[in-house]
Every structure is written in structure tokens, then in C-alpha cells.
Amino acid sequence: MAEAFAAVEIIAAKRDRHELSDAQIDWVVDAYTRGVVADEQMSALLMAILLNGMKAREISRWTDAMINSGERMSWSALKVPTVDKHSTGGVGDKITLPLAPLVAACGAAVPQLSGRGLGHTGGTLDKLEAIPGWRASLSNAEMLNVLQDVGAVICAAGAGLAPADKKLYALRDVTATVEAIPLIASSIMSKKIAEGTSALILDVKTGSGAFMSDPKRAEELARTMVSLGTRAGVKTRALVTAMDVPLGLTAGNALEVRESVEVLSGGGPADVVELTILLAREMLDAAGVKGAKDPAHALQDGSAMDKWRAMISAQGGNPDAPLPVAREREIVKAEKSGTISSMDALKVGVSAWRLGAGRERQGEKVQAGAGIEIHGKPGEKIEAGAPLFTLHTDEAERFTRAKEALQGAVHISESGEVSPRLPLVVARIDSHDLT
């Protein structure tokens, strides 16, 4: 059967800054998924999109085409509303771990499809796999069972969900086209819309440790994604939140699980607790849960912890098992006394990655125990010689490059000055804010 279009014509149209028609978009996404359009042709089209952009209609149609490449999930069998959260990722961003069971404890169901880390941003599945026995891959029927029994599930997206995105994501990674807002937005939202949740909260990070370091670009991405979700009938809101400093006091896999359990136990670092509660309230409100328990109370009364334990157990994990500990550790000390004035999230993230907490290419194994403990944050006083970071790895030869990454990551002010920080929430966008 003859193809409806030729890939070269579509590439030329976008190269010359023309809008692609709905039919062209439908065909090129489908033909690439089928293997009719070659990688080098799609690479050229992706670069043309990065350089010349897409109109809102084109982005929406591209997203639909990716959704239509696979299955759509449905949670209509559940008796409670569904809501999900997606974060664009950062350093120490373990929020999904305490958030999913917390929201379930307050009356909504959370079908959370998560991913693995690449580069300096950690992956939720990598963190949870530090728990002995826990498994990331569940069938749709298993997901539904866990949601019915527990109310929250965190697992990998199945191969049937937006397969076009999986193929495009791998290609974007090796063709320097990851940063294109139309491609980021359609990649995230095709999976989230196909996932079938009725409400979605987006946590778009900005600052040095974020994928979108410029707050204006982060806000543009947030608006694009809220628009896509709203058009698809999913109640969507976005918070643009700070990632100029690492979240919490750990970056790494088992280290972040431990910190998440502290939050669920009613403790944990103030910034992690604040953002977890803030996002939980947004999720419950967007889902329309009537008379929901306040998330702050659910962290204190043990109900969120009960959900966490049930969720981990339901996926084969042992919530009581000791978490893996790296074989080697090294302390980085403060060189002078004073007030910590700034801490660069990106440098901390790269250091944790070099210790073995992250991967350089898809499919690599990560070390469960690798990462960084942070002993002081901006605004806190520190004495010369006191621990600033503890580095953890199974391979001592990694310490040299990890410490190189931390050069200049922390500034200590003798006068007590603290560098300006981004507010925790830089912007909040929902469908009413779209023009």
C-alpha cells in the first residue's frame, strides 16, 4: 500500500517554518513507529521542530498521535477519584515516594507511572528498587489490584503505553533535541493522558539542578503541558518549583528512600515536607475529593506510613528490610567557618551521579547505596573542618571525580550573607491562566 506522504516533504515543510497539517503529523508519528520513516529522517524533523517550534494545534495533534500509537488505560472500576503527579526531576527530588501513599491516605487513588534516571537527575524507580524485593514492572491487572487494595501504586509504564514516545525519546537523547518544549511537553503528556488519570499535577522544576534552569522557559513548558492536559479532558495544574538547591539532605537511591521514610514517620527535612504537603493538597483538590483528610495530619497520625508499607509490600518489597549501604564513604569538610551562602544543585547532582547513583546511558545498572548526604544547607552556620558532605559509593576510585564535581558547589560567607534563593513555588498555572 502506498504511503500517504513522503517524510522528506514533511521535513522540508518544518525546515521552512510551515505548520504541519493534522494528517501530516498523524502519518509521520505512525510511520516512524512502524519503521517506515528512518531514524535519520526523524532526527532531521526533530531538529527542525527544535529550531522552528510548533503552534499549539501542532503540539496537541503530535501528542494525540503519540497517545494513539498505543493503549489507553482506564480506572473506571475504582470507587474513588484518580490523580497523578509528574515531576520534571532534579537533585534530591524524592517527593513521589512519600506523596503517593500520603494522597492515598487522604482519599484519592494514585496510579503513578514513573521512570528511571538519566544523567544527574535521579529516577523514582531506581530509588524504590533499593528496597529488597520491590519490583517496578506490573501488568495493568496488577496495577488495578494494588490500587483497589492500597490506593497507590508506583511502577514502570508498560510497553503498550505511547510506544511512539519510547522510540522518539531514545532518538532525542542522541540528537541534541531533548530541550525542545513541544517535544518535552508531548512526551510527558502523551504518557500521562494515556495513563487514564482524571486529574494531574505537574511539578516543573527550575534552577541550576533542573532540566529547565531558566524560570521563564520552565513556565512556558508548564503552560504548554497544562494546555495539553486541559484539551484532553484531564484536570491539569502545574507548579513551577525551585531546584536551585538540592531538595532535602540526600541525593542517591537508598539514601533518598531512607529520607522519604523519615517524612512518612512525621519527621524529615522541612523543604521536603513542605513541598510534599503542598502537592498533596493540590492533588486532592484537583481530584475533587470531598472532606479529604489534611495531608499534614496524615503524616503525623501514621496513616500515610501505613499506606507506604502496604504499597511496598504489594509490589513484593519488604518495608522492614535494611536498605543497602555503600561499601565506601568519604567526608568532605568545610574549609572555613561562616554561613553557607549558596549550594549549587547541579554540582551536587553530578557528584552523586559520578559516585554511581545515576547512569550515563540507558540500561546501565545504578548502585543502590551510592550518593551524597548533605550536612548543611544555605542559611546555616558551619565551622571549619565540620562535615559538609558524606560521599557514598561501592568503588573508592569514584571519589576523585565526584569531589572534582563539588569544586565551587558551596560558598561560605564569613559576613553571614546568604545568596538570593528562588521561592519554593515560582509560579502556579491552571486552566484559568491560559490565554
The model's pLDDT over 364-373, given as tens digits with 9 standing for 90+, comes to 788 999 999 9
- Which pLDDT tens digit goes with each residue over 179-192? 899 999 999 999 99
The pLDDT assigned to 108 comes to 97
Enumerate the CATH 3.90.1170.30 domain ranges in the chain, comma separated. 328-413
Q: Is the pLDDT of residue 119 over 70?
A: no
CATH architecture of 83-160+174-321+425-433: 3-Layer(aba) Sandwich (3.40)
Residue 178: pLDDT over 70? yes
Tell me if residue 191 is catalytic.
Answer: yes
359 noted as active-site residue? no
What pLDDT sits at residue 170?
Answer: 84
**Domain topology for 328-413:** Aldehyde Oxidoreductase; domain 3 (3.90.1170)
Query: Residue 171 is which amino acid?
Result: L
- Catalytic one of 187, 190, 208, 303: 187
All three cell numbers of 58? 501542532
Catalytic residue from among 64, 84, 126, 165: 165
Q: How many CB atoms lie within 10 A of CB 421?
A: 14
* Per-residue pLDDT band at 174 (split at 50, 70, 90): confident
In the chain, ranges of CATH 1.20.970.10 domains:
7-53
Q: Domain 7-53 - what CATH class?
A: mainly alpha
Give which of 389, 375, 303 is closest to 347, Cα–Cα. Answer: 389
Rg for the chain, CA atoms, rounded:
22
Active-site annotation holder among 167, 191, 192, 231: 191
Q: Catalytic annotation on 401?
A: no
Give the integer Cα–Cα distance in Å for 122 and 364: 13
Most confident of 105-119, 153-167, 226-240: 226-240
Is 394 a known active-site residue? no
**Residue 165: active-site member:** yes
Looking from the CA of 326 toward its CB, the CA atoms found within 13 Å total: 28
pLDDT at 118 over 70: no
- What is the mean pLDDT of the segment spanning 3-30? 97
pTM score above 0.75? yes
Predicted confidence at residue 169, as pLDDT, reads: 86
